[in-house]
Amino acid sequence: MKKTLTTFFLLAVLVTGCTAIREIGERKSLPRKIFVGAEKVGCANNERNNICYQVKEKITDEWSLYKGEIMGFQYEPGYIYELMVSEDTNARSHGDAPDVQWVLMERINKVPVQMEASENGWLDIEWTLTQFGKPDTLISALGDDYPTVIFRKDGMITGFSGCNRFNGNYSVAGDQLRVSNLGAAKGMCPSFDGMLEQEQTVFYVFQQAGRFDLAEDRLSIFSAGEDQILIFGKKQP
């Protein structure tokens, strides 16, 4: 009797274990959102001609290298992509390729980037806010640390609102500016009169960006309806 019970117990454990293993093996990964950079870069990856994607999961993250392929994804350099992907754990990998490959589920966004500096050299320069508000009633920048912005050559925008750090993506077509994926920290504004209004205007203009204008050492950015404007000057060394 004891032998029969022991045998039954072992069989039950084996069946349960096999079921659990089968369920884990069949489990599909949840979708995940990633960003893909505007250009591939060199890396130690013999499977992909020593070229890797630049990827990140949050717009605020730094770029990291991905040695695998994104199945179903048609890549074109010069654009930052926002994708929804899933993981294919059954994909066979060898050499330098990762064990898990990504499969494209949806292309959420495709944003062109400014790859080269203009003749005015306005990229990769820190600009400091000097005035903001309605075009006919401009207010001088407030606070001990004025808002700043940098338009990077890789299509990223980074800056300081006077209260919080922010970043996102941007693209330029002629004199039209578009900012997307804008994200910011959520700290409290200093207790200066008008500081919160200043931060709100900075975010409003970037989120609703329309025309921009460069004149010597001045950069003016208008909201789409041109009801608000930010005027920056080149930060002095």
Is the pTM above the cut of 0.85?
no
Burial class, 198, CB count within 10 angstroms (exposed 0-12 / middle 13-18 / buried 19+): buried
Strand, helix or coil for residue 3 = helix
Pairing of strands 64-66, 70-71: unpaired
What is the percent of the chain where pLDDT is above 90? 36
Q: pLDDT digits over 178-232, tens only?
A: 899 999 988 888 777 889 999 999 999 999 999 898 887 899 999 998 999 999 9
Query: In angstroms, what is the C-alpha Rg of the chain?
Result: 25
Instruction: Tell me the per-residue pLDDT of 64-112, one tens digit each, with 9 for 90 and over.
Output: 888 888 999 999 888 888 899 998 765 554 555 556 789 999 998 887 7
Structure letter (DSSP) for residue 162: S
With cut-offs at 50, 70 and 90, classify the pLDDT of residue 164: very high
